[in-house]
Amino acid sequence: MRTEGVPAVAIHSGKEQSERLWVFEQFRHGDTKVLVSTNLMGRGVDVPKVNMVLNYDMPKNITEYIHRIGRTGR
């Protein structure tokens, strides 16, 4: 995304937990507008004012899909 001029941050298992927390806080506080994540962020994450979730690859089942997008738009 950055190569296309879209500032973004990422969370994935290749990052240390402390770095993932820091990146998430940047997103949660609105310091960055785009967060790219693996399924690590799929459960129990509630961020106010998230208005869109894009799935690069679709989940294998409906339960996983609901966990990915379920808190958006509350």
Residue bearing the bigger pLDDT, 19 or 43: 19
pLDDT of residue 22: 94
The predicted model scores a pTM of 0.71
CATH 3.40.50.300 fits 2-69, yes or no: yes
- Cα 14 from chain centre: 15
- Which one, of 63, 49, 19, lies nearest residue 37 by Cα? 19
Burial of 56 (0-12, 13-18, 19+ CB in 10 A): exposed
